[in-house]
Amino acid sequence: MNTNSFLLLRLAIGASMLGHGLVRLPKLQTFSHWMVGSFAKSILPQALVIPFSYVLPIAEFIIGLLVITGLFTKPALMAGSLVMIILVFGTCMIENWEALPSQLIHVAFFTMLLQFISSNTWAIDQLLIKQN
């Protein structure tokens, strides 16, 4: 993969994650209530859903910011994959099959970027490497 293609994919998935977090952070409590309500009839205990509902928007925002800037890119891509895998599991627990394709596409983007991480030349990571 060439470096420009990598950059465009990185910016796209980063913008998606950043955007998800950015719109949820100002209404964190409302988002949490919505998520808890969505999982009310699932087998997942509320004791897991409530903290996750507060952590998710923060994680999305931070991961998105890191991926867009290319700072700690590989760990951010790994974290993004993990968040999405957790979301896939949760989506299956509430049988929200309509949301599943979007989450799987996010995992595919993260995985592809991890596979071609050597193409990550337009990134703050590269500046840090050059300084060491």
DSSP, residue by residue, 19-83: HHHHHHGGGHHHHHHHHHHHTTTSSS-HHHHHHHHHHHHHHHHHHHHHHHHTSSHHHHHHHHHHH
- Average pLDDT estimate for 41-55: 97
pLDDT for 119 equals 97
pTM of the model: 0.95
Q: Is the pLDDT of residue 128 over 90?
A: no
Torsion (CA) 118, 75, 127, 1 in degrees, nearest 10 = 20
Confidence of residue 132 (pLDDT cuts 50, 70, 90): low
**54-to-26, 29, 94, 96, 116 alpha-carbon distances in Å:** 12, 8, 19, 20, 32
Q: Which residues contact 50 (CB under 8 A, 6 or more apart)?
A: 32, 36
Total Cβ atoms within 10 A of residue 24: 21
Q: Given CA atoms 74, 48, 85, 68 in this order, what sign does their dihedral have?
A: negative
pLDDT for 129 equals 82
Share of the chain above pLDDT 90, in %: 95
pLDDT for 24 equals 98
Total Cβ atoms within 10 A of residue 105: 13
Q: What is the pLDDT of residues 2-33, one digit of tens each?
A: 999 999 999 999 999 999 999 999 999 999 99
Mean pLDDT of the chain: 97
pLDDT for 17 equals 98
